Structure 1
């Protein structure tokens, strides 16, 4: 029999819209019996709500508050009589919940006397609206005691002689939205009859909610829904972790449910057009909107396997239609967007998913989770995003009483966000309710505007492929550059010209200070010119690579500038590099001439080696020759890591270097009053920034003593005593400095710390500001070496949680996000691409250019190039660029892309972890599956046992999905770095795989022994160690409730769900019990009742 025929026209239409005009046709048992029990089993949804209520102490998240404006002054006495009748009719209104013998029961009271709160509003004018809102906030925040009841509340606010506001607040455990419709309709219907001395309908309900609960449990026990469970097990097999929607603020261990909302209304043309698409394809409107919603989520997450939730009324049986109770069930809608389908193809995929879900809707969502998602710790398990097609809430007239619901802004959000869809007068209304602790109003407003635009694109063309839809938002699109726009270029100054300008202005000012030696701008200009002349006389050709071999020193800088002036191409080789690395740089660059700064180069066949001291013969000054150098000429070759292990040479030019340095000088006000520090190795391209930013600004470059460069006490004292105002660093280097520092240093003159090369985190900034006191600011620079030094920046005035943004492009530069050959919109995940006329000339081996330096696909000019960085990122609603990971740093685990750097960042949040890096050890360990290894450097860690890996896993369990928690934690003394300051992955030690399950930790006292027995009984599993995670060995929320009950009966100790989540091992749980009983002389343990 078609169930829709059993529903009223109104409810039938609602189900048609929400569920695709289909009904379930699975087999069902006989009619629900009337048991009449005072204490009975709870339904699955009630059990879950009970647990969630325990999980959040004093939680009002599961309150359902509503309010109605009534068009007359209601008589409180008549209203109370009407309420009394409802209470006597519906047992749910007289229900409370208790635990009996470790089983949750619902208890129905025989009688319940309940008064209506009454208040006369004394406010006038605009203050009336404020009063209505204030009362709503107060009522919605009422905390119900589930063990005592009543679990609903009624309040009447009289506004004047003709108007009242009726507030109803229910705990979700006894009611759902359908129930509230029943309640308000019957309450007012009874009121009218009583006011007119009419007889009330005293016919008993056929069944009560408790009867339904007993019946539901019986169906599960009899296996009536086993076929449906098989469907869900298959549908959710290898389901991905919860959708990784990019957050504006990091989500900590303690979840906030404070909500906010954004509302949008579609115009009539679009609303009717979407209805037409649904009708033409024999779909529901809900399906069309959900398909578009999935496209949005795909764009924001770059995931193709997407699960969201949707509620379903679950009143498919005739006996339930007039009951007040919690019948609501949830369906998980899993859709595969792979294969680049058209919208229509996606729509038909989704239709199949929804209809199948409806056919298998009877099995409670709680049971589905219990059976299919045994290793998940998240309470919602499968999704954190919902979509809900809501009906128009009741409004109407009972005789002379008109009433309508009052809309309030949602103050709570159970999920990251929920999209509510409502249809009113041929118009669709959207309301997205989100958790404001993690998402901003700007982000969600942009998201909704883009969503509506996607719907408009669908209206125009349903055959368009999913990948072809564009995210468009009129306001935020200003942050997306036009890749066809011409980028203006300025004069192609050279580094030499910029430096010589400062020589004229600051002839006798100190340019470089190294140890006790001070060298002026005049000295540096003359010495470098002399060296250039020397090289030219030695036959160095313009554009020929010349290696500078040495260490940080004044002579090295003279050599670099002299090579530039000679028109040659600089190849820096730090003499402290390993021999093999030096040989690679020499052979890779094709160098045949070497300037040996300190006389330490070991001569080799085929090499012309010139000693620096030879170049400074002043007797040759009269023979100085000049060589014209322009901006297009190559200036240097620096090497970056290659995917094959062989470094790749990058050729820079003069205009790219000078453009960046001029921009940095002007943007940050670097002047003759400043002092910069040189920390960077000669072999890393950042050395160009270190050395020449001061020298093109009239500032002084200060070089620390090379013999004391590893003495951090000297280094910090040196920063202070020299009055350094800015320096460049890499986060890993700064992290190492701070880790070794035991004192605070006041750097009163420091203005800027420029960070680049790695993600800059809030934690590192906070640590730095604790170690180095002063009024300086961090600047987060970003740009691969291939694009010349840096191409975006972010001045950090207020840190955001986690990794800091890389900000906005520097001048004459475009940075956009691309997916395929399409520019992404705001919020969309893709590859970061850079377009500028000031990037380098590319790789020395031009064969490497084809995949990274490509022609701009958006215009026909062949010389307009863009660079694909390999970094994954997005543009936020505030117009800031964010890095989300690397294409070569990402793995797929359980169908979800995981970035190793993000896991490292979470581990670094632990207070006793100084530094951490996570790698995929599958290749090193020769395993066939992903094997995550976390290398950690610890500080102030007092435990002396070998359980550090368990400790860290436990701490991060609440911050990461179980599937991405590293299998192995390896403690090391320090994270090895390359010469450029980045993590040297190859230098990390190779660990031995240890199967923790083969060495289970046994209980060490009676409490742990008894608690372990409880675990094994509840989980129906042997061989559990006291250090294993509850959720890794099959535990979940429903099982946790049984643990709580057993602990109470065996130890007379109350523990909460939250404590189990925070202390998920037998060892930690036993410590809670011991602490709570510390005042007792002896702990009494009940005799074991373990089932054999």
Structure 2
């Protein structure tokens, strides 16, 4: 078959590769390479003749590619000389020749091809010795595939054997060529013909989820395709076990291995809906079997893994899915993407992000395609990498008589090498688990090696230290008072007390409490402003054997009533003018009581397990819940710990409200270690007043909430120059501001402190150092002393390092539970499954999503309830916030999801505290460059400051509602105004055949796809005279965004730009009107 100038359409597979080539025309990531070791004498002239004959008989090897009117075509050249490069390594030392040959092959593999000029193959003969050669053939994937490589090696061998003996070619002439197949595919595979298959795939992929692999690095807005690979081998006994399981279920080894890979992805992603791509040979007609060319199609294998199936049950589902996919394999993957129109994202491959390939000899016509022996090939495991990755992750498997070899190719944009090393280890362990226990639920199959399990369970939780775990707070305070009675214990606006004076005062008050009937285990309310009376009273309460209950007089009366009703305090201590709404509960007023003269501490009968205080926190039902904390919980926090050193001579600031557990660290950290507690003035001081207080008092140890930390670093960093240890936490810290502290306060140790109230202030801490990696997230660190941290999956199994799971906390800091709520206590405080039976040890379930880094430090990912699903994508709001905080003008950021879950009005709202409010537009442009389109908030709202909860965290419920003041994803139709906007909209209307296109319309939402994008690119590049790239069109998918990009680059005004632009728009409008009339006429003819 011939056409004018031998131009032919591209096959669907070729069209996709052409599109990818346009995105990265200088990238070699679709170069394929094979090598043929030749242990014989080679006649180079004969070898060159063989290559020439190969090029003559296969037209695809002398084909080049162009765009004509924006449409890609392939052109078969009448003749094409393909030179065979020759490299002689005989002068290289024998021990270095193999490495030199690999280096030569690698350099050739990394050289890109020019698809418009050709040739698209580069043969090289490398001479290692007189009778030892290596033939290396590098080709572009657009003209070959794995099956083709087998044809090439076979035909080269047959032709050389004949030519070297002076014989003619033994190969029969080919009845058809690849271009004939491409033309036939375009003519025959219309949607009418493939409608049933399209229906199958629509149903099969309805509501699918993108795979959310946990990555080490933030996903770039557009991939670089830089990659690497690692290798491993699964022993034959394991493979035989898998084969037997497959045979019993009527499945193939391919199906069993695919099922295992899907299980691995499920365990890594925490999803029960897994989509994986796999290639299929697509040569189900005998006349195409001997052809060289790119025939491979890609099938999308979806697995639904909900309901805890066993592996055997899952394999049955995979078998049915695979057979259905094979029966509907004729639909080109490119047409599937075009018709399903998944949410387009230039950072991800459409429909799937991981690929699974099995090589097991010659591929069957209707079965999976063999893994390319050329990519990366056996030599890859020697450590040579071509440096490319087409997908996030590809698993190549090859079967031989030793077992199964695995090559994992991965994007280095996303993954660190040690992450993939662990993943391969988990793959090996999983296969062994499946082979031995196919009837175990897949969620229970072990992934961890014994060494890794020991690391997670023991090594990273070896935090036990010697500390006075059986002592009470009162006993330890008395020890400090006896050791240094004249040292200053408290200092504030209302005076100064030494340790001796404070001890005598608290003893008298404790005796008075006992006289009022307060017993061990009772609860005593305390409603006092920040000051010496407040601290002395709470010390007296614990010395009396009771637990203090902080009550805030500014709290809404109904909430106060609820707290007092739940706790049933024996009495409430306050003072005149301070009781507020607590006054109606009849508090005892300190300024109206007579204390006993005896200043010796009473015998309280308390021990380390006695209740020390009750703190009420917000509950999900809206009702406060009281957390019960023991003496041991507090002592473990502040004595002999490993995250912060506190000693006599230190000065700590008491600033946190008593009803929040940061005050526990401040007060007891000072008093149990002989430090001075500087009490900040009552009320909420300004940043300037707080900075002056810190500097005046010479504070050396300071705790700040994340939001206050950010504000102080921005406005009052100079006042912190004496601080020796600065702890911040309670929310996500800004890496940029942390780095600023480390740079400008070299004498200060900065510590990120993490811990829920239920585990007594801190459970993990991360001490930061100058130059340390703090992005994309500042780690929350390792377990503090006498604390255990477990990252568990939904089955309460240990999550591997790097895999996101829920954090469970054990150790001496775990509180007793919730006051008067045994049901909630049983839900959140569970028996420790890793402790000896009947040990009584418990874990607190935090609800926080975290993961271990390779160094054992934890990264906080977000709350389980801060994860949203939007337009089919699962989004962690913390990821977006982390990127927003990276902008140099953003002080702090917060993202929420607005609208009904799953509803059409569901969208993301981003809030930012900025240097200047008008920087909101710069922030949007930054986010469009850094994030996939679906993760960019629909609306960005600048704030002067965030509303805060009383504990200093961002109050998400108090954020202002969206008033539509910034860009909206679903804004009303906006008419293009500028000439560039009108021109872009006119081109879109023409190519998309739309009546109108608005400023904020998204190209892909209007039905655009990759092939139409090429036409858009071709037209706009000519009309604007602008060096637009295909990536630009992906990154700026609305008229407004693309026009801004063109205008800001300042390069427009080409042959049809500038003064001629209105004429171009008018001409386009005329053509659109003509197209509309033609379509109307065709509809009329069909109707008649």
TM-score with structure 2 setting the length: 0.88
**Are the equivalent residues in 2 in contact too, given 1:374–1:1034 (CA < 8 A)?**
no
2-structure distance, mates of 1:309, 1:604? 64
What residue in structure 1 maps to residue 783 of structure 2?
809
Confirm or deny that 1:450 pairs with 2:423: no
1:645 to 622, 633, 643: 622
Task: Report the equivalent of 2:954.
Answer: 983
Deviations 1:877-908 (A, max 9, x none): 54444444333334445666544434433444
Distance in 2 between residues matched to 1:793 and 1:365, nearest whole Å: 49
Q: Distance in 1 between matches of 2:867 and 2:378?
A: 49
CA contact (8 A) 1:747 1:774 kept: no
2:646 maps to: 670
Q: CA deviation at 1:472?
A: 2.4
CA distance in 2, matches of 1:853, 1:999: 50
Structure 2: distance between partners of 1:511 and 1:488: 27
CA separation in 1, counterparts of 2:853 and 2:621?
34
1:137/1:248 CA distance change after superposition, 3 Å: same
Aligned to 2:498: 520
* C-alpha distance after superposition, 1:200-243 (max 9, x if no partner): 24743222222211111112347322221121112111221x21
The residue aligned with 1:570 is 548
Shift of 1:636: 0.4
TM-score (norm 1): 0.88
CA shift for structure 1 position 960: 5.4
Q: Which moved more, 1:759-768 or 1:248-257?
A: 759-768
How far apart in 1 are the matches of 2:1016 and 2:3?
Answer: 30
The answer (yes or no) to whether the contact 1:592–1:607 under 8 Å persists in 2 is no
**Structure 1 stretch displaced more, 649-658 or 371-380:** 371-380
CA shift, 1:574, in A, is 3.7
Aligned to 2:368: none
Q: Which moved more, 1:904-913 or 1:978-987?
A: 904-913
- Please say if 1:473 is aligned against 2:442: no
Q: CA deviation at 1:581?
A: 4.3
Residue 323 of structure 2 aligns to a residue in which SS?
A: helix
State whether residues 524 and 558 of structure 1, in contact with CA within 8 Å, keep that contact through their aligned partners in structure 2.
yes
Q: What is the rounded CA distance, in whole Å, between the counterparts of 2:394 and 2:208 in structure 1?
A: 21
Select 1:781's aligned residue among 739, 745, 753: 753
Superposition pairs for residues 768-847 of structure 1, below 5 Å? Answer: 768-769=741-742, 773-797=745-769, 798-819=772-793, 822-827=796-801, 829-847=804-822
Is 2:735–2:778's contact at 8 Å kept on the other side of the alignment?
yes
CA 1:86–1:749 in 2, change beyond 3 Å: closer, same or farther?
farther
**Match in the other structure for 1:541:** 519
- Answer yes or no: is 1:492 the counterpart of 2:465: no
Q: Give the superposition deviation at 1:1067.
A: 2.5
Aligned to 2:608: 631
Q: Any conservation in 2 of the 1:73–1:160 contact (CA below 8 Å)?
A: no
CA distance in 1, matches of 2:977, 2:742: 44
Counterpart for residue 87 of structure 2: 119
SS at match of 1:983: coil
Larger deviation, residues 273-282 vs 579-588: 579-588
Q: Which moved more, 1:184-193 or 1:271-280?
A: 184-193
The alpha-carbon distance between structure 1 residues 703 and 1036, as it changes in their structure 2 partners (threshold 3 A), is: farther
Is 1:1039 matched up with 2:1012? yes
743 and 963 in structure 1: CA distance in 2 versus 1, 3 angstrom threshold: same
Alignment match, 2:986: 1013
Q: Does 1:286 align with 2:250?
A: no
- In 2 relative to 1, CA 107–710 (structure 1 residues): closer, same or farther, beyond 3 Å? farther
For the residue of structure 1 that corresponds to 2:189, the secondary structure is: helix
Cα distance in structure 1, aligned partners of 2:716 and 2:584: 52
Unaligned runs of 5+ in 2: 364-376, 1077-1088
> Partner of 1:105: helix, strand, or coil?
strand
- Does the CA contact (< 8 Å) of 2:734 and 2:885 recur in 1? no
Q: Which residue of 2 aligns with 1:22?
A: none
Does residue 1:745 correspond to 2:718, yes or no? yes
Q: Decide whether the 8 Å contact of 2:469 with 2:636 is kept in 1.
A: no
- Tell me the equivalent position of 1:219: 188
CA offsets per residue over residues 469-519 of structure 1, 9 Å max, x none? 222213211133389999999641222233333334433333334369554
User: 1:749 and 1:160, CA in 2 relative to 1: closer, same or farther beyond 3 A?
Assistant: farther
Q: Look up the SS of the partner of 1:115 in the other structure.
A: coil
**483-492 or 1029-1038, which deviates more:** 483-492
Aligned partner of residue 888 in structure 1, secondary structure: helix
Q: Which residue of 2 aligns with 1:38?
A: 6
Quick check: 1:1048 aligned with 2:1007?
Answer: no
- Determine the C-alpha separation between the residues in 1 that align with 2:312 and 2:690: 65
- Structure 1 position 453, deviation (Å): 2.1
Q: 1:74 to 1:846 in 2, by over 3 A?
A: same
Per the alignment, residue 401 of structure 1 pairs with none
Q: How many angstroms apart in 2 are the aligned matches of 1:256 and 1:750?
A: 44
Is contact 1:663–1:810 with CA below 8 Å preserved after alignment? no
DSSP-derived class of the 2:1059 partner: coil
CA distance in 1, matches of 2:605, 2:404: 69
Distance 2:278 2:246 in 1: 19
| Aligned twin of 1:236 | 205
Q: What is residue 869 of structure 1 aligned with on the other side?
A: 846
Alignment of 1:908-927 (within 5 A): 908-922=885-899
Conserved 8 A contact 1:1047-1:1054: no
1:688 Cα deviation after fit = 0.5
Q: 1:996 to 1:65 in 2, by over 3 A?
A: closer
Distance 2:1027 2:869 in 1: 41
The answer to whether residue 155 in structure 2 is matched with residue 186 in structure 1 is: yes
Structure 1 distance, partners of 2:938, 2:427, is 39
Cα pair 1:375 1:1034 within 8 Å, conserved: no
Q: How far apart are residue 568 of structure 1 and its match?
A: 2.1
Q: CA deviation at 1:35?
A: 6.4
**CA drift at 1:968:** 4.6
RMSD between superposed Cα atoms in Å: 3.3
Equivalent in 386, 389, 392 of residue 416 of structure 1: 392
Structure 1 residues 496 and 331 mapped into 2: Cα distance closer, same or farther (>3 Å)? same
**Per-residue Cα deviation, 1:777-827 (whole angstroms, up to 9, x for no partner):** 443333321222222333344334333443333333333244455423414
**Distance between the aligned counterparts of 2:630 and 2:537, measured in 1?**
18
Match of 2:313 in 1: 345
How far is the alpha carbon of 1:257 from its aligned partner?
2.7
Is the Cα–Cα contact under 8 Å of residues 734 and 892 in structure 2 kept in the other structure?
A: no
Distance 1:359 1:178 in 2: 20
Residue 139 of structure 2 corresponds to which residue in structure 1? 170
Equivalent residues of 2:870, 2:902 under 8 A apart = no
- 8 Å contact kept, 1:36–1:211: no
Q: For the Cα contact (< 8 Å) 2:476–2:672, is it kept in 1?
A: yes
Partner of 1:13: none
Q: Cα deviation per residue 1:884-941 (whole Å; 9 max; x = unaligned)?
A: 4333334445666544434433444445544333334446xx9966724424134245
TM-superposed deviation, 1:270: 1.1
For 2:911, the equivalent position in structure 1 comes to: 936
Say if 1:697 and 1:1033 are closer, same or farther in 2 by CA, change over 3 A.
Answer: farther
How many angstroms apart in 2 are the aligned matches of 1:305 and 1:496?
55
Match in the other structure for 2:1037: 1064
Within 2, Cα distance between the matches of 1:547 and 1:572?
6
Q: How far is the alpha carbon of 1:191 from its aligned partner? A: 3.0
Q: Secondary structure of the residue that 1:45 maps to in structure 2? A: helix
Output the CA distance in 2 between the equivalents of 1:419 and 1:623: 73
The answer to whether the 8 Å contact 2:109/2:386 transfers is no
**CA deviation vs aligned residue, 1:178-205 (integer Å, no higher than 9, x gap):** 2222223323433333332222247432
What SS is found at the alignment partner of 2:615?
Answer: strand
> Is 1:140–2:109 an aligned residue pair?
yes
Separation of aligned partners in 1, 2:82 and 2:794: 64
